[in-house]
A and B are shown apart, each in its own frame.
Chain A
Amino acid sequence: MEFFLVTLLNSLSYGLLLFMLSSGLTLIFSMMGVLNFAHASFYMLGAYFAYQTSVYIGFWPALVVAPAAVAALGALTERYGLRTVHKYGHVAELLFTFGLAYIIEEIVHLIWGRAPVEYRIPAILDFSAFSIYSTQYPAYRVFMMLVSVAMLAGLYLALTRTRIGLIIQASLTHPDMVEALGHNVPRVFMTVFAGGAALAGLAGVIGGNAFVTEPGMAASVGTIVFVVVVFGGMGSLAGAFAASLVIGAVQTFSVGFDYSLLSLFGILGIQTNPESGWYDLWKVTIAQAGPVLPYVLMVLMLIFRPKGLMGTREG
């Protein structure tokens, strides 16, 4: 029971962090039809900016400063990068973001070096919030969840209850009409891109010190975020939310299960020994296979329901 509750909380906090990352990505995708390969790099930049800010003026200002700085970079990327290559089609845009991810990684190497930086959890949040049986639950994880939920609520309200949200939603489906009504659609695109980058940046601010801030962090979350977006359905925020929680739970819970196909054979009464064919495959436990499971889910989803959990467009 203790293990289950602790793991459930861990999977929630991880899933919410994944959602902060994937929400921006899916927004940008639904708007521009482009998968932004550099999205995870904005996450990394958020963490590094927050580290640098926290060195000078502390963690709390960093919570605002770092996402703002990342948003500014995002806006510049859209205005002077993506918009320029847009006329050459989606492939050019895709390649542009792909290259950008590498450039950002190299710049991070140049400025902050290859070793992890000492970006720490603020002392005021470095205690255990409560105990589940005898396991302490760190306050910072609670804080992470609060920030994610607040952001989720804010995003939802902004998109459904404000004029800007209405225009953004309209631009998603009917950009020509919105433009005809006198709105500056390219600027809406830029705003959305910057907003998506800011969300990734914010995830970096709170994820960077919970885990580790190092140049490899973009690559390590990058693939999983794509899985979330594909699994949830391209361009669907609600889908991304559900997918984040599912993928988070799959990754966290799988660790706890030391069952392999051998155990299944045992139950079924099939005799096996190390000489049996494919023995090495049968003895792989769920815990060991855990890291692959999200990708397996993605492939299955693409086969049986190409538009994803709640996607609106086919494949």
Chain B
Amino acid sequence: MFKTVMRATALGAALFAAGLAGAQAQTIKIAYLEGLSGPFANVGEVGLRHLQFAAERVNAKGGVLGQKLEVIPFDTKTSPQEAQLVFKQLVDQGIRYMMQGNGSAVAIALSEAMGKHNSREPSKTVLYMNYGAVDPILTNDKCNYYHFRFDADVDMKMAALTTYMAQQKDIRKVYLINQDYAFGQSVAKAARAMLNQKRPDVEIVGDDLHPLGKVKDFAPYIAKIKASGADSVISGNWGNDIALLIKAAKDAGLPAKFFTYYAGGLGTPPVIGEAGVGNLKQVTVFHSNIGGSRTNAEVEAYRNRFPDSKDDFYWTSILAAVDMLTRAMEQTKSSDPVKVAPALENMKVDQVTGEGYMRADNHQLIQPIFVSTFSRANGKDVKFDVERTGFGFKTDARIEAKDTVLPTTCKFKKPKA
């Protein structure tokens, strides 16, 4: 009896190994590196479903170069140290493409690790698709030839946001509150510099940095904002940090407008609810109500694939990344990042939001940016509510792709193959 079991197990193991080997030969692997446990796990899981959605679409059409895309999730615990270990793992497994987007500190660590690896082992070059880590440094001083960003960076979004704010004459006193790490600091810096330039009459009455993901009660911060007399607040907060901030503001009856980056991020609108209507704005490269039949079809397709109400279509940058990657592979008839990367440069992309292209000098995707306001869904200009909350975003302003281009300090050279 024991022997039979042993034999069956051995056979099973052999078959399994063969299956794995077969799969390895036939798929193009994309590693997905994100915090899949810990305080921001929910955010990581949503991105993973978007990537699966994009990969399934490619695979349904027969894949790329006759191979299927395979998504392999890795848990970085949203920690730079952990992410570097994970990077070694994926290199060991022979994976050549990776995607990440939550946490600029993680992104900077990953980009540096990748840069070192690629220069040491050019034959095993890895390409990094960044769908949401928006610290400008990644496409400026610390840019890397094999790093491509598909979301607009902090400065581009802040430029769009401040252009919009400059037209709002009732804004007089602005308060900055951000998470105390690379991204939050760059939001504060950009806001200060750009407001100063576009509206020198606006006074910045406060500039707070609070610990990332640790504050449970924002009431003291709201009391401070209130005491400063601010009529507008700029915040790059995401996840619970933005939801709790808005909730506390509503509780205290703070009459200020909030200009944010991630008020519409998944998991946030249900917590904010009624508190945000009318006075909560966000600057993004996409929201569900930008209009057009293509946008609507895309949102509905995603909702059909992932019907859970806690899930919703958010990351167009992931779709753009997969779309451009597969086209670059088809163009070059190769799945080698060394050949694919040059093909991505200057490549055009036609998203639901409009036309865009990949900048060659710093590998930043140029695309339209939207400023929108949290509103009640009405079936017309607020057709889709986010996460079935009854609330959605309504466009205030659309900034065309060409107007979002900023100078860069990036000076990478194409590595010799």
Which positions in A face B, CB cutoff 8 Å?
A: 2-3, 6-7, 10-11, 14, 109, 113-116, 118, 120, 128, 131, 134-138, 140-141, 210-212, 214-217, 219-221, 251-253, 255-256, 287-288, 291
Contacts and interface: CB of A to CB of B under 8 A. Distances in A.
A291 B215 CA distance: 8
Nearest to A133: B226
Contacts of A11: 220
A137 to B, nearest CB: 8
B253 A212 contact: no
A138 B251 contact: yes
A80 B266 CA distance: 40
Contacts of A109: 41
A233 to B, nearest CB: 25
Interface of B: 38-39, 41-42, 45, 180, 208-211, 213-217, 219-221, 223-224, 226-227, 240, 243-244, 251-254, 266-267, 270-271, 273, 310
Given A113-B42, A135-B252, A252 B270 contact: no
B223 A3 contact: yes
Contacts of A216: 38-39, 213
A291 B212 CA distance: 11
A208 to B, nearest CB: 11
Given A115-B310, A256-B224, A288-B210, 18 more contacts: A2-B226, A2-B227, A6-B219, A114-B41, A114-B45, A128-B253, A131-B253, A135-B252, A136-B251, A138-B252, A211-B216, A211-B244, A212-B271, A215-B41, A216-B38, A220-B214, A256-B220, A291-B214
B310 A113 contact: yes
A115 B270 CA distance: 10
B216 A7 contact: no
Given A115-B42, A115-B266, A118-B270, A212 B217 contact: no
Contacts of B253: 128, 131, 134-136
B272 to A, nearest CB: 11
A288 B38 CA distance: 23
B213 to A, nearest CB: 8
Contacts of A287: 208
B247 to A, nearest CB: 8
Contact of B243 (A138, A212, A253): A212
Nearest to B36: A114
A167 B38 CA distance: 42
Contacts of A137: 252
Chain B CB within 10 Å, residue with most, of A116, A221, A256: A116
Given A14-B217, A288-B180, A288-B209, A116 B224 contact: no
A131 B221 CA distance: 17
A67 B408 CA distance: 57
A262 to B, nearest CB: 15
A287 B227 CA distance: 15
A255 B243 contact: no
Nearest to B44: A114
B224 A255 contact: yes
A220 B223 contact: no
Contacts of B254: 135
A52 to B, nearest CB: 16
A214 B270 CA distance: 13
A116 B271 contact: yes
A191 B297 CA distance: 58
14 contacts: A2-B227, A6-B252, A114-B42, A128-B251, A136-B251, A216-B38, A217-B216, A220-B214, A221-B216, A252-B220, A255-B208, A256-B224, A287-B208, A291-B214
A14 to B, nearest CB: 6
B389 to A, nearest CB: 8
A125 to B, nearest CB: 11
Contacts of B210: 255, 288, 291
Contacts of B180: 288
Given A114-B45, A287-B208, A10 B216 contact: no
A212 B244 contact: yes
Nearest to B223: A6
Given A136-B251, A211-B216, A287-B208, A3 B45 contact: no
A256 B223 contact: yes
Contact of A7 (B214, B223, B240, B273): B223
A285 B211 CA distance: 13
Contacts of B216: 211-212, 217, 220-221
Chain B CB within 10 Å, residue with most, of A7, A215, A216: A216
B357 to A, nearest CB: 34
A131 to B, nearest CB: 8
A200 B379 CA distance: 43
Contact of A135 (B42, B226, B270, B271): B226
Contact of B226 (A6, A115, A251): A6
Contacts of B310: 113, 115
Given A116-B270, A212-B271, A255 B214 contact: no
Nearest to B41: A114
Nearest to A136: B253
A118 B269 CA distance: 10
A59 B38 CA distance: 28
A82 B140 CA distance: 56
Chain A CB within 10 Å, residue with most, of B208, B220, B243, B244: B220
Contacts of A138: 251-252
A136 B252 CA distance: 5
A255 B244 contact: no
Contacts of B215: 291
